[in-house]
A = this chain, B = another copy of it.
Amino acid sequence: MNSLVNAPKKVAVQRTQAPGFFRYAHGDVVVTALYDGYVSLDPMTLTGLTDEERAEDLTRQMHALNADVDSAVNAFLIHDGKQLIMVDAGSAHVAGPTMGKLLKNIAAAGYTPEDVDTIILTHMHPDHIGGITNEQGVGFFPNAIVWTHKADADFWLDTNTADGLPDGEKAFVQIAIDAAAPYIASDRFNTFAFGDEIVPGLITAVDAAGHTPGHTAFMVTSAGQNMLFWGDISHIPAIQLPHPAATIELDVFPEMAVASRKRVLADTVKGQWVVGGSHQPFPGIGRVRQEGEGYAWVAAEYGAPSSLDD
C-alpha cells in the first residue's frame, strides 16, 4: 500500500439529521408520517408481565436493561386530494425538549398549518393534543376542526378529573383544556362516537378504549386497502407487541387497555392491515405478524413506491 493521500481539505462536519417526515402511498391517499420527537419511558413501569419476560423483550431489541426506552412520538397527515387530515398533533411546548418538532416537520413535508382541514385525535394525552395550541393559547391550525371521542372530551375537559389521577398525570387535564380552548371558543371542536365515519367513505372511528376513556383507532380505507392508525395501542413496542398483556401506568383503565390491545392486534393480523402507530419507531408505519403467543412489528422500508416521487 503506497501513500497517494492528498492533504485533505477541511470541510465542515454536517450534523443535521434528515427531516422527520416520511411519505407512504396508501390506496389513493398519500400518508405523511411526522416526527414530533421522542418520550423516554421506564420499561420497569410496565405491569402485566414477568421481569424475565421484560428482560427477554428488551434484550431482543438490544435495549439496555434498567434504562429508559426512547419511544418515538409520531403524528400523520392523510391527503385524499380533497382535504388534509392530521392524526394527532404532538406536544408543542407541553412535554419537554425531546418533543415539539411537529410544525418543523410539517413544513419539511411541504405543508403549512393553514393547510390542515381536520385534526382527529386518538386521545387527549399531552403528546397528542398538546401540539394544536401555542403557549399563548392561540391555535396553531387556524382552519382546522378538531375531533375527539366524546368520552375523552368529557373526561379530560373536566377539571374534577385531576383529583382521581396520580400526581404525575394531574397536569394532563389542564394541558388538554388549554389546548382545546381556542378551538372550542371558535366552534371548531367536535366529538365522535366509535363507529362514526368521521370522513365519509375514508375514515372510521374504531374502539380502542382503555388507555383513555375514548382512546380511538382510525381506520382509513382507500381503494379497498385498510390502514389503521392505532394511537397508543403500544408505548414500548419492544415489550407490548410480544407481550400484549403488558400495560403502562398511564392507562386510565388498564384492564380495558389490555383487552383493546389484544383485540386490535388480533384484528390487524387477521385483516392484514397496514398500521400507523403513535409510538412505533419513526415513521411508525409497518405491519404486524403473529409470533408465538404475541406479535412482531415489520417496519415499512424506505424506498419510493412507484406512485411517489423521489
Binding site for B on A (CB under 8 A): 1-2, 4-6, 8-11, 13-23, 30, 32, 35, 37-38, 59-62, 70, 72, 79, 81-84, 101, 108-111, 115, 117-118, 143, 145, 187-188, 190-193, 196, 198, 281-283, 287, 289, 298-299, 301-304, 307-310
Q: Whole-angstrom distance from the CB of A195 to the nearest CB of chain B?
A: 10
Q: Is the interface of A mostly helix, strand, loop or mixed?
A: loop
Is the beta-carbon distance between A18 and B21 smaller than 8 angstroms? yes
Q: How many subunits of this chain does the assembly comprise?
A: 2
- The 5 residue pairs across chains A and B that have the minimum distance between CB atoms: A8-B83, A14-B110, A282-B302, A8-B117, A11-B115
User: Of B5, B17, B143, B299, which one neighbours A310 at CB under 8 angstroms?
Assistant: B17
Is the beta-carbon distance between A299 and B299 smaller than 8 angstroms? yes
Is the beta-carbon distance between A308 and B17 smaller than 8 angstroms? yes
A5: chain B residues at CB < 8 Å are 117-118, 145
User: Of B17, B110, B196, which one neighbours A1 at CB under 8 angstroms?
Assistant: B196
Question: A1-B190, A101-B310, A302-B281 are contacts. A82–B23 as well, Cβ < 8 Å?
Answer: no
Q: Can you report 7 residue pairs joining A to B where beta carbons are below 8 Å apart?
A: A6-B117, A17-B23, A18-B22, A18-B23, A38-B303, A282-B301, A283-B302
